[in-house]
Chains A and B, each alone.
Chain A
Amino acid sequence: MPHTHPIELLRFNTCGSVDDGKSTLIGRLLYDSKSLMEDQVEALEKSADITGGGQINLANLTDGLRAEREQGITIDVAYRYFATPKRKFIVADTPGHVQYTRNMVTGASTANLSIVLVDARLGVIEQTRRHTYIAALLGIPHLVIAINKMDLVDWSEARFTEIRDEIEGFLPKFGSFRDVKFIPMSALSGDNVVDASTKTAWYEGPALLHHLETVYIASDRNFSTFRFPVQWVNRPNNPTNKELHDFRGLSGQIASGIVAQGQEVVILPAGIKTKVKEIWSYDDSLAEAFCPQSVTICLQDDIDVSRGDMIVGLQNLPGRSAELQARVCWMSQRPLTAGKKFYLKHTTQIVQAAVTQIENRINFTTFEPEYQPAGLGLNDIGTIRLRTAKPLLFDGYETNRLTGSFILVEQGSNATVAAGMLFPPLEAAKPEYADFAI
């Protein structure tokens, strides 16, 4: 029946190595939560008869491209949707094959939770560490380690504990997740996926779906510091309504924090202080708005503000600099070397940027930085320094995922070649209020 109470949305991604059973797991979640429709099951059965020797292949549900079905691997992020009476879910099924790590970054960048699959027979492998590392790097608050194919190790508690201990050994080095859950399961048979398994009496935790339904996500958002990158200036051309004749609104999505009507704000980079006259939305004028709402802000004073500017609160001003340090995930076949120029997109603006130095590259065996590498290759992660043609208004990625992130776009091909996470600013922006009296 249609629900009547508001339902929360949880975004998660699944990652792991090839053949760890990611697509099977999602297929299982959809199948067992009755989110699959008869024609989808029919299509599965049809392709099972043709290519699978009669066995239904749950992975075929998410492997939507012909090349994926042919090769039996997931190439690109596939998005799936399902709902239970408790929550709605957006699932990004991200590829395990090493050459598609960039797609894992894509799928994980918007996730609240990451599921890293581990094949119980193989235990921790390079991809396990890499994906856990990327999840930590992207600041995903919640982590699930799904120790899969437990049926193939006779549901051995010793094996489960061994793998868990190994992962717990290296996790603290990667960063801090808000919570980490280890779940023994078999995606193929469905044990501990939707329903608790009868084969893991030694395991006291929840089945996966129960955890997904109940993990606490309300504090995942940053409500403390107001950041509003101006996206689009709303100025009606020929308003029929005379009241709108002088309407000048600044539209955008609140990146973090809360804003209230009447509140004092600073316009950056101009450094001008003013007040919020109105928070305009199509439905109503709002007394207050919060992240991630999309609103239109009208200011008390008629100030020249354009796309790429930022409206912020008086406290905790962001950094402002053209010299930046960032960790990047490199996503192009052509290696990154110092001296290359790119377009850099950060919040709502695009500036030219030059990579001035590649400080280090993470070694995915030791997870230690290697200094002064020749460059960064496809799927490498490293720390770089950049200079932008215009100073950015930014926060450290750790405190703000939206004002602390950027992408690099290759000039000419226009390919997106890097995902960047900024280091915290060395000093805050210093607006001069003195010349502006309210």
Chain B
Amino acid sequence: MSSYHLDHLQYLETEAIHIMREVAAEFERPALLFSGGKDSICLLRLAEKAFRPSDIPMPFLNVETGHEFPELLEFRDRRAKELGAKLIVRTVDEAIAKGHAHPAPGEISRNKLQIPVLLGAIEEFQFDCAIGGARRDEEKARAKERFFSFRDSFGQWDPKNQRPEIWNLYNAKLNPGENMRVFPLSNWTEMDVWEYIKKEKLEVPNIYFSHERECYRKGGQWLPVPPPHRDATKPDPYAGARPKANEPIKKMIVRVRTIADMISTGMIESKTETIDDIIGEVSAARVTERGTRADDKASEAAMEDRKKAGYF
């Protein structure tokens, strides 16, 4: 029977394709969350595998904090175009201007402000399902989450009352106003993602590879120096997130391991030029991927709290 054998990547792939097709079959208006990051790059390939030769039967959705790496946005727009998909972008700036999102005094990170933007987009387009690239190995609250993660009409996740998920029978039933988050990569690890990118020869944004960049030390991490503020007629979007006098700037050879936005992504010193180099680095890593994410360090339950409120 050895010829009828799937290795672990093929197994994860067939599971994820099955889930993608369940979404297409069971929901009226699904969307696929695409940021341009490595996990959502895998999602796109899985969507191609699930639906080709047809078009991918759902638009792509991205929530911008306004602090994105420009390289990532360029990549995101280009990939959506290449795949012939409709890309919907909603921004925290817009939401603040419309009064839908309210920054907490003194809080520079816009991580939490993505929540009302995402919920607003779901309402605006009447999405009943959003496919995301989250993985259970990323974080321990995520480790508890289902493939089909039910959200009530306030977008909330109730971790103590999740729908049991048995065999491959996913319960997609919703009442009006409720929606589902679906995570086809739930069972993938960081290593699986990179091995899949290698196997499928997927393009990734160049910030995943080593490059020269100005960084500064903050909270035990090397943060990228934000782009200069050029348009003096507008407030500096990075106000408060620029290196202070006692945080000297250093030119370094770095890359990102995981991408949030520029003010919450720690850069790692690295000399990686190929996907193989990255795989080697990940297998030798002694800290988790999210160890470089400032947004998760807030407290032991930082992710759980955001998810309960409607986070990705």
Contacts and interface: CB of A to CB of B under 8 A. Distances in A.
Interface of A: 1-2, 6-9, 37-40, 43, 46-47, 61-67, 69, 75-81, 83, 88, 90, 102-103, 105-106, 109-110, 218-219, 221, 223, 231-232, 234-237, 239, 241, 244, 247, 249, 251-253, 258, 280-283, 290, 292-294, 307, 331, 343, 345-346, 348, 401-402, 405-407, 409, 414-416, 419
B124 to A, nearest CB: 24
A407 B171 contact: yes
B1 A223 contact: yes
A331 B164 contact: yes
B159 A76 contact: yes
Nearest to B288: A37
Contacts of A76: 144, 159-160, 162
Given A106-B164, A345-B171, A416-B163, 7 more contacts: A37-B291, A39-B291, A64-B142, A79-B144, A292-B11, A402-B167, A419-B166
B169 A307 contact: no
B66 interface: no
A219 B279 contact: no
A379 B21 CA distance: 31
Contact of A415 (B160, B163, B285): B163
Contacts of A37: 285-288, 291
A76 B140 CA distance: 12
B166 A416 contact: yes
B78 to A, nearest CB: 19
Contacts of B175: 414
Contacts of B144: 64-65, 76-79
Contacts of A43: 300
A231 B18 contact: yes
- Which 3 interchain pairs have the tightest Cβ spacing? A64-B140, A6-B7, A39-B291
B54 A235 contact: yes
Contact of B167 (A62, A221, A239, A405): A405
A106 B14 contact: no
Contact of B195 (A2, A77, A109): A2
A110 B285 CA distance: 30
B7 A223 contact: no
B141 A9 contact: no
A79 B169 contact: no
| Residue of B166, B186, B189 with most partner-chain A CB within 10 A | B166
A57 to B, nearest CB: 12
B53 interface: yes
Contact of A79 (B22, B186, B304): B186
A109 B25 contact: no
Contacts of A232: 21, 24-25, 50
A161 B283 CA distance: 41
B14 A253 contact: yes
A219 B160 CA distance: 36
B283 A253 contact: no
Given A8-B7, A345-B169, A401-B167, A62 B143 contact: yes
Contacts, number: 185
A62 B136 CA distance: 11
Nearest to B303: A64
Nearest to B150: A414
Contacts of A414: 171, 173-175
| Residue of A8, A90, A409 with most partner-chain B CB within 10 A | A90
B51 interface: yes
Given A6-B7, A282-B49, A294 B304 contact: no
B140 A61 contact: yes
A78 B140 contact: yes
Interface in B100-141: 136-137, 139-141
Given A65-B141, A79-B187, A81-B137, A405 B169 contact: yes
Contacts of A402: 167-168
A104 B14 CA distance: 24
Nearest to A87: B8
Contacts of B7: 6-9
Nearest to B141: A64
A33 B52 CA distance: 40
A253 B17 contact: yes
A237 B164 contact: no
Nearest to A7: B8
B269 interface: no
Contact of B187 (A90, A237, A346): A90
Interface string B275-310: 010011001011110110000000011001000000
Nearest to B299: A66
B21 A252 contact: yes
B191 interface: yes
Nearest to A344: B169
B94 interface: no
Contacts of B15: 292
A9 B11 contact: yes
Given A37-B285, A281-B49, A290 B167 contact: no
Contact of B164 (A38, A102, A252, A281): A102
B302 to A, nearest CB: 11
A103 B53 contact: no
5 contacts: A8-B8, A37-B288, A106-B164, A293-B14, A409-B171
Nearest to B7: A6
A79 B136 contact: yes
B17 to A, nearest CB: 4
B214 interface: no
B28 to A, nearest CB: 14
Nearest to A82: B189
Contacts of A280: 53
B143 A79 contact: yes
Nearest to B16: A294
B55 interface: yes
A9 B54 contact: no
Interface in B31-72: 48-55
Given A81-B136, A223-B1, A252-B21, A38 B53 contact: no
B6 interface: yes
A100 B52 CA distance: 41
A307 B187 contact: no
A75 B160 contact: yes
Contacts of B162: 76
A407 B55 contact: no
B21 A251 contact: yes
